[in-house]
Amino acid sequence: MWVSERSQKRTVLDGAAQVGHVTMPGNPVGVYLDGERRELPLYGPGGYAWRPAGAAQVLVIKAGGDGEEPCVVGEQCQPVSLKEGEILIYTGKAAIRVNPDGIVNVTGALQVNGRSVLTEG
């Protein structure tokens, strides 16, 4: 009975997701939405760590039982050409592109276990 009553009392907040701009890079991060919000946690896929740059446009969702806990879940993607099923990880001058045919392309310098394998150029 208690579980069903609790779900009936839960209110759905309008604007469960908002787009904001990073004001304080880091983890946690500061974001300007309808005002500046600080100490927002960052979320991403398991095994993937990221930190948005200052002024980056980010997606903020409201989590928690009543949608009262905002958190940053992603950054707006730059327009890039990708094949269906292709993955691109990039930052600055470095990029890793994995295509669905099993080919991995690396742009920039590459180190494996701290040893240079490929240098820029």
For the chain, residues classed under CATH 2.40.50 are: 2-75
2-75 carries CATH number 2.30.42: no
Digitized pLDDT (tens) for each residue of the chain, 121 residues in all: 445 444 444 433 456 899 999 999 988 999 999 899 999 999 999 998 999 999 999 999 998 888 789 999 999 988 889 999 999 998 888 999 999 999 999 999 999 999 999 777 6
Residues 48, 53: Cα–Cα separation, whole Å: 16
pTM: 0.73
Residue that has been written with the tokens 């292709």 in this structure: 86
Residues 72, 38: Cα–Cα separation, whole Å: 11
